[in-house]
Amino acid sequence: MPAANQLTFDLDELVREDLRANAGAWQGAPLHFTTDYYPPGELVTAFQQWQLLYGNYGSIPRSHMWHPDYLSRNGQLSFDGHGHMKFRADLSPEREHEGPGELLYMAVCEPCEWHDVSDSENDVVEAWHDHAIPGWRELPVIPAQIRVSNESGRLTPLAQKWVTAHYPAEMQVPGVPIITERQRYATRHVEGRSPWGGYDLSSTALTRAEPPHQEDTPRPAPATLQTAAPDRAPTVSTPHALSR
């Protein structure tokens, strides 16, 4: 590392050490992984606070904290008073350490203080639709022979005509998804691809057996990393670092 860069790095670390020493009691979402519900704004602020104290470099895997899913269009989806925001948490252990090693996803509906956590992105997307949009699973599947989107990602005129003719009028409103027939490996649910700003859901993913209703058989929560933020960036040393 060039001397000038090393000096900048050392000064930044001195500033962070001073911030850690004088930070006082943190008020907000935990500065570590949790499966408890917190409003999206508090989760974002907590992750930013961790970065302020320990640096941006490698902050996603080092903190194990929830952070916005930057691949999605967070904050742009809502339906009938329900909100949608998707987060990720990387529980991968540091090199030569043991740990859970999972990439987890969480969907949040802030108005209802509802959230769902899973190691499957599709599962949390479907759970949110079950929570917010009753009847979405009965929507017609757009056939594969109809090209759904053009090069810019917008719905083609043919797909728009098909959807208008086959989808119920009450399901042609902002936030509602479309369901499209896909190839066997094209299973990801894509946000913002319906004509109303909702998801383009893969019929291929939906053909598997439907999960039991949450109120009948609750989905087991994943292991929870509850190590408090130390003077230095936290590590996962043993599986015993996991607890609820």
Q: Is residue 87 part of a domain?
A: yes
Q: What is the pLDDT of residue 89?
A: 95
Give 9's pLDDT tier (boundaries 50, 70, 90). Answer: very low
Q: Is residue 217 part of a domain?
A: no
Average pLDDT score over the chain: 79
Q: Are residues 81 and 29 both part of a single domain?
A: yes
Give 127's pLDDT tier (boundaries 50, 70, 90). Answer: very high
Q: Domain of 62? A: 3-119+222-241
Q: Is residue 49 part of a domain?
A: yes
Q: Are residues 114 and 226 both part of a single domain?
A: yes
pLDDT tens for 102-119 read 899 999 999 999 999 999
Say whether pLDDT at 242 is over 50: no
Range with lowest mean pLDDT among 1-5, 121-125, 176-180 = 1-5
Question: Whole-angstrom Cα distance, residue 82 to residue 65?
Answer: 24
Q: Is residue 212 part of a domain?
A: no
Per the structure, the count of domains in the chain is 2
Q: Are residues 111 and 146 both part of a single domain?
A: no
Q: Are residues 26 and 104 both part of a single domain?
A: yes
SS3 content of the chain, % helix, strand, coil (to 5): 30, 15, 50
Q: Is residue 129 part of a domain?
A: no
Say whether pLDDT at 182 is over 60: yes
Q: Which of 7, 208, 186 is nearest to 126 (CA)?
A: 208
Q: Are residues 165 and 235 both part of a single domain?
A: no
Range with lowest mean pLDDT among 34-38, 54-58, 74-78, 94-98 = 94-98
Q: Is residue 130 part of a domain?
A: no
Q: Are residues 173 and 78 both part of a single domain?
A: no
Q: Is residue 216 part of a domain?
A: no
Q: Are residues 141 and 96 both part of a single domain?
A: no
Q: Are residues 23 and 93 both part of a single domain?
A: yes
How many Å separate Cα 125 from the centre of its chain?
9
Q: Are residues 149 and 101 both part of a single domain?
A: no
pLDDT tens for 139-174 read 999 999 999 888 777 889 999 999 999 999 999 999
Which DSSP string do the residues of 25-86 spell out, in sequence order? S--SS-SS---S---HHHHHHHHHHHHHHH-STTHHHHH---EE-TTS-TT-EEETTEEEEE
Question: Whole-angstrom Cα distance, residue 31 to residue 38?
Answer: 12
Q: Is residue 66 part of a domain?
A: yes
Q: Are residues 71 and 174 both part of a single domain?
A: no
Residues 6+ apart with CB under 8 A from 227: 32, 234, 236, 241
Range with lowest mean pLDDT among 23-32, 53-62, 224-233 = 224-233
Q: Are residues 16 and 58 both part of a single domain?
A: yes
Q: Are residues 90 and 197 both part of a single domain?
A: no
